[in-house]
Chain A
Amino acid sequence: MVSEEDVAHIAVISDVGVDASELKLFTGQFNAIFEYFDILDSVEGGTGEPVGQTNIFREDVVVQSLSQEEVLRNSTDPEDGFIRAPRVI
């Protein structure tokens, strides 16, 4: 059972804003959806470590890429060749 507090917590850690009015709506919908997903409880397996996966490495190859100007073109108000982001501290 998912509570409104659970949805609010997930919204905070996902950086997805949810209004108070949406919280009730989403909580009801999530409970119906997870109830449907519960059919997966009857699947055998899937509890151990993934198998059959191996890393495949290759030598790094330098190829031509986008210019700095092209990369920054869609950024609002870049500064001295850097993008700007909200303050962290």
Chain B
Amino acid sequence: MEKTFIFDRPDPCNAFIKICENITYGEGPLSGIPVGIKDNISTAGIETTCGSEILKGYIPPYNAHVITLLKSAGAAIVGKTNMDEFGMGTTTESSIFGPTKNPVDPTRAPGGSSGGSAAAVGSGLVRMALGTDTGGSVRCPASFCGIVGMKPTYGRVSRYGLIAYANSMEQIGPMAANVRDCALLYSVIAGYDPRDGTSIDKPAPAPVTPVIAGKKIGVPAEYFGEGVDPAVAETVTQAIEKLADLGAEIVPCTMPSMKYALASYYVTSMSEASSNLGRYDGVRYGTAPEMVQPWHEAFSAIRRAGFGEEVRRRILLGSFALSAGYQGKYYAKAQAARRMVRDDFARLFAEVDIIAGPTMPTVAFRLGEAADPLSMYLADILTVPANLAGIPAISVPCGEAHSLPVGLQLMGRHFAEDEILLPPLHTRRDQHDRHHRP
């Protein structure tokens, strides 16, 4: 029997773009649990904008597969969460709905691009939320907001109804205040869907029974190299030592392909974006173009007005990387580098069960601190390898640096989500106590 739910809590972090009215829920493993949904996941009858002017007013006529699964599990979908426009960012500041604030420190960004989902969970507005992760967009905000966020194996969660940015890498992922809730949400959204051509028909994930003792944990030197804040590295090193105390064997290792990973990721994702975002012309949805203008002029005007600067920058860079004379230099080389990253992981996973390192090289940025585009791209260096290889990766809170949360990133073999869903080594409650201590 369906029940109703009213969600009228204040949202000082601007985590939500839209709060649903007339929220209903049914029976199931998530019965009555409030869940926030990133605004690039289609929700039938509920405006879905990707944080972009160009999709303002767009009301999807169908649900994403994950939404159908959540509803079947009884979840109470309370609203759509803020995000960097089309998922292209690391701070959740490029949304047309304004920046989201970090609930741990409102002068800081929550990370991105799923910053609204992370802030909604981190501020206690919802118990769980869905984000999407193309190059770290679930794990980065999880790390910055002191919550848990996982990018599942590519193909594990259906992308049907996820508005595409870079199809070959993105996955919908669960976000929650603790690993148990993250695992519960994951268990509901994972599974085969024939409407996603890359969905893989594997048995449903087994119940999570984290075992640390006896596990071999690889620690690549590159994850603690140049650009990683020493205070963050120290916190993560201590967390890995705790895993050793719990019986894990720590195996120092190297990942030489890391030097190519970021360039490979950005060339690939921008190239895919330049193609995917070609569909936004205002004809079938969004603001209508000027009908009497010539075709190209009308579309250029619509896209100039409807896309923000970062989105247009990535479309242009992607078009450039795919254009005649440059395709071999950039896109083809990026695919060869992607293969090297995948091969590096395969080599390491023959020796170890889990690979560990920091999720992000720094703690949360100050709001408005975002530097030039290349500097912002460099912040993704530790998260993009998992997307290039398609392996699952999770960020769990493991302590603090500069009095801000630090995430420990654990990466596993394809489809071994159950092996990386390990409890956090430092809970948000501890952080809360520290920040609110008299």
Residue numbers of A with Cβ under 8 A of B are 2, 6-7, 10-19, 22, 26, 29-30, 32-34, 36-37, 39-41, 43-47, 50, 66, 70-71, 73-77, 83-88
Contact = CB atoms under 8 A, between A and B. Distances in A.
Nearest to A70: B61
A74 B301 CA distance: 20
A40 B374 contact: no
Contact of B295 (A44, A71, A86): A86
Interface string B202-226: 0000000000000000000000000
A44 B300 CA distance: 38
Contacts of B266: 33, 37
Interface stretch (B12-20, B118-126, B280-288, B407-415): B280-288
Nearest to B289: A86
21 contacts: A14-B315, A15-B278, A16-B312, A16-B315, A19-B304, A33-B317, A33-B374, A37-B263, A37-B266, A37-B330, A40-B260, A40-B267, A40-B337, A45-B339, A47-B333, A74-B57, A83-B284, A85-B281, A86-B298, A87-B293, A87-B295
Contacts of A43: 260, 333, 336-337, 340
Given A10-B323, A18-B312, A39-B260, A87 B291 contact: yes
Contact of B282 (A16, A50, A76): A76
Contact of B335 (A10, A50, A83): A50
A74 to B, nearest CB: 4
A37 B286 CA distance: 34
Interface string B292-310: 1111101111011101010
B300 A74 contact: no
Which interface class (under 10, 10 to 19, 20 to 34, 35 or more) fits B? 35 or more
A87 B283 contact: no
A15 to B, nearest CB: 4
A79 to B, nearest CB: 11
Nearest to A85: B283
Contacts of A71: 61, 284
Given A37-B330, A40-B260, A45-B339, 15 more contacts: A16-B303, A33-B373, A34-B320, A37-B267, A40-B264, A40-B267, A40-B333, A46-B337, A70-B61, A74-B58, A75-B284, A76-B282, A83-B284, A85-B283, A85-B295
A17 B316 CA distance: 10
Contact of B288 (A32, A73, A76): A76
A37 B263 CA distance: 5
Nearest to A14: B319
Contacts, number: 147
B59 interface: yes
A71 B288 CA distance: 16
A85 B334 CA distance: 36
A40 B330 contact: yes
B299 A86 contact: yes
Nearest to B307: A16
Contacts of A86: 289-295, 298-299
Given A18-B312, A29-B313, A74 B284 contact: yes
A11 B283 contact: no
A76 B266 CA distance: 34
Interface string B371-398: 0111001000000000000000000000
A50 to B, nearest CB: 7
Contacts of B262: 36
Interface string B264-282: 1011000000100010011
Contacts of A88: 295
Given A46-B336, A66-B61, A87-B291, A15 B283 contact: no
B50 to A, nearest CB: 14
Given A37-B267, A40-B263, A14 B316 contact: yes
Contact of A46 (B263, B316, B321, B332): B332
Give me the 9 closest cross-chain CB pairs, A-B, nearest first.
Answer: A17-B304, A46-B336, A76-B288, A74-B285, A86-B298, A40-B333, A70-B61, A15-B299, A45-B336
